[in-house]
Amino acid sequence: MGRKKRIFITGATGSMGSAGLKELVKHRDTFDITCLVRPSKVNKKKMLPYYGERGIRIIFGNMLNYEDVLDCVNDADYILHTAAVIPPMADHDPDFAYRVNVGGTANIIKAVKAQPDPDKVKLLYVGSVAQTGDRLPPLHVGRIGDPISPGPFDAYGLSKIGAEKLVIESGLKHWVSFRQTYITIPDAMSLMDGIMYHQPIQTCIEFCPPKNAGVLLEKLCLDGLPEDFWCRIYNIGGGPSCRLIYSDYMQRMMELLGMGDFTRIMDRNWFALRNFHCQWYEDSHVLNSYLPFWVETAEDYFRQVKECAPWYVKMAGLPIIRNMIPMPLVKSLVMGRMAGRKGDGTMYWIKNNVTDRINAFFRSRKDWENIPPWGVDMPATPTVDTYVRLNHGYDENKPKSELDIENMREAAAFRGGECLSPAMTKGDLTTRLKWRCAFGHEFEASPTLILLGGYWCPECEAPPWNNDEIAARNPFFAQVWYNTHSKDEKNVFPADCVYDCVGKDKEKIIFKRKKKAGQSFSAGLFDE
């Protein structure tokens, strides 16, 4: 038998990482697996089934400690970087989220480059649907290359953008970024959080069951992928069987949790009108064509939710019991408290006149006041066949190997700027070119980052969120922004607005630093 493949996985106790580990351990005859795990009591308990198991090495350490990361990267063939601080934790400690999500990724890249043969290492970075922000109908079906547009106040989205940019521009030979959608975990009670009201009711969600995510990681580590698979960005979605509208999803979940009709326990004006994220995908089949991972559907997920529900939830689902539950009390004491929670509760913003939050998520207080009750002027039901397809500003039908400097100039012009480089090697999408945005900022970036990633000027990108002014000069970005914003809005959301959910004991440093001319937000904070 030859040498085993060496797999390093981060985030092995998280939703995606734990699902991946379950699939990877089936290959211990051919895989040696290393897990870097933060040494919390919860994580140690989650890893108990793997203690002492053949072919599994558990390192209790820290993604921010380079030596810990280097120890795990040494001799690795595949790196599955699924670890991340996600919402709602990311909302309540944005500095920690940024340090882990961006700084941890920077450490991995640095460790790969320190290897004797970095070209043999294959790195998977897991991005997020949060990077592309608000995609309400008719822009509810998206694809890779659409504008990067994290929602105001979204520190998590910013951190995933910062990390993905490091990977794309790393110079590594074998990297890939999977932008993960909402992973549906069976423990539905853990999702009961005020963030549920940040999502507009007509949001389209193409989710990914954990089993699918696990199979995806497993198949990535098997042989057979062509060279053109690498140095690309893909959307993770569960496909047609996993597409839902948020209001329908809420109805199914509340029924499974024994609460019946969700409109009886939640007011319509608790839900934001814009500026969250999620979408259906035009191109989720692309990743599935390389790595067939669509093994479970929405119905499988709902069945798992029912099976995993605590006994008291199952009891509440019985008609005789459910009819005894005083729904007005559930509404006021449970669901209403989440909506009114200090910091991130939508009704907290209204009651305390948190103007920036109200403007970001409801347009204005008047718009919030005009939200009708359930059943009145409900949004039209979106379909996958009827949507507005965004223009990327260049001929996407042209093979990537044929893209040239004229395509770069076309794309730059559609973004309100210019490509300053006089020439490029046809089909070379990794060498950085020089660009100028509509505001006169000059910067360097690869065609992969700009054309395929949906990025543009690092100095203009959030934070702060000056999107109204940017949209007025950038037609590419305006396509997304003016879907839910009017041209007469003049909002600017400052970089430190993300701290409005943070307790007094938390660090408040990163989002108070100022950008330097021509630099992205994370420049100087981590190695780029």
Q: pTM of the entire structure?
A: 0.96
Residues 305, 307, 312, CA angle at the centre, nearest 5°? Answer: 90
Predicted local confidence at residue 528, as pLDDT: 44
Q: Please give the distance of CA 103 from its chain centroid, rounded to a whole number.
A: 17
Burial zone of 436 (CB within 10 Å; 0-12 exposed, 13-18 middle, 19+ buried): middle
Q: Is residue 39 located within the same domain as residue 174?
A: yes
Which amino acid makes up residue 358?
A: I
Query: Which residue do the tokens 């493949």 mark?
Result: 5
Q: Which helix (H) or strand (E) holds 205?
A: strand 204-206
Token reading at 481: 């922004």
Give the torsion sign (CA, 401, 390, 170, 76): negative
15-24 and 210-220 helices, crossing angle to 10°: 50
**83 with 217, same domain?**
yes
CA distance 404 to 406: 5
In this structure, is residue 144 part of a structural domain? yes
Task: Tally the residues of the chain.
Answer: 528
Q: What is the pLDDT of residue 242?
A: 98
Residue type, 365: R
Number of structural domains (the chain) is 2
| Residue 74 falls inside a structural domain | yes
Are 222 and 96 in the same domain?
yes
Please choose, from the candidates 89, 123, 78, the residue with its C-alpha nearest in 3D space to the C-alpha of residue 99.
Answer: 89
394-426: pLDDT as tens digits: 999 999 999 999 999 999 999 999 999 999 999
User: What distance in Å separates the CA atoms of residue 159 and residue 521, rounded to the nearest whole number?
Assistant: 10
- Of 181, 230, 216, 184, nearest to 9 by C-alpha is 216
Count of beta carbons in the 10 Å neighbourhood of residue 267: 17
Residues 505 and 93 sit within 8 Å (Cβ to Cβ) = no
Token readout for 340 is 């009114």
Domain contains 104: yes
Closest CA to 146 of 360, 388, 381, 382: 388
CATH number of the domain where residue 93 is located? 3.40.50.720
Any domain includes 320: no
Question: Which residues form the domain of 218?
Answer: 5-192+204-238+282-293
Q: Is residue 404 part of a domain?
A: yes
Half-sphere exposure of 294 (CA within 13 A, CB side): 20
Helix (H, G, I), strand (E, B) or coil at 435: strand
Per-residue pLDDT of the chain (528 residues; tens, 9 = 90+): 578 999 999 999 999 999 999 999 999 999 999 999 999 999 999 999 999 899 999 999 999 999 999 999 999 999 999 999 999 999 999 999 999 999 999 999 999 999 999 999 999 999 999 999 999 999 999 999 999 999 999 999 999 999 999 999 999 999 999 999 999 988 877 778 899 999 999 999 999 999 999 999 999 999 789 999 999 999 999 999 999 999 999 999 988 888 889 999 999 999 999 999 999 999 999 999 999 999 999 999 999 998 887 767 667 666 666 676 778 888 988 899 999 999 999 999 999 999 999 999 999 999 999 999 999 999 999 999 999 999 999 999 999 999 999 999 999 999 999 999 999 999 999 999 999 999 999 999 999 999 999 999 999 999 999 999 999 999 999 999 999 999 999 999 999 999 999 977 778 889 988 777 777 887 767 654
Q: How are beta strands 5-10 and 442-445 bridged, if at all? A: unpaired
- 465: DSSP letter: B
Q: What pLDDT digit, counting tens, does each position of 66-91 carry?
A: 999 999 999 999 999 999 999 999 99
